[in-house]
Structure 1
Amino acid sequence: MPHSDLLPSLLFKINENQLALEAAIMERSNGVEQRGAAEVTDNVRGALMAIDRNEEFIKMTLALMMTPE
């Protein structure tokens, strides 16, 4: 298998890891919020918005890359 064939699979796995990290950070952020640190939580959620903004583009691009020609 040529190395270029591995790129879509690699990117897919990196994206999965990114989404798992987002979920873990959000879970932790919820716990911090319950303890009254709303400002910290707002900052974390603001930073995680980049993942949300880019998620659909990443999914569509990966789908195209993984489609046989």
Structure 2
Amino acid sequence: MTTKDKIARRKLSLLDLAKDLDNVSKACRLMGYSRQQFYEIRRNFQTYGADGLIDRLPGAKGPHPN
């Protein structure tokens, strides 16, 4: 299991915990995330599914001048 997979599983666990507790703030405190991060994670999951949980690094904006 790669580091990206572990992070994605942790984010999914956060979403599940918030649903089980029916309390976003408490779930975030327990898992070490801010509420802002939670809502971003949830939005990405709802939009892209499991692929939305994987952290993506921004790529190059265009060709690099040499």
* TM-score normalized with structure 2 length: 0.43
* TM-score normalized with structure 1 length: 0.41
Larger RCO, structures 1/2 (Cα 8 Å, 6+ apart) = 1
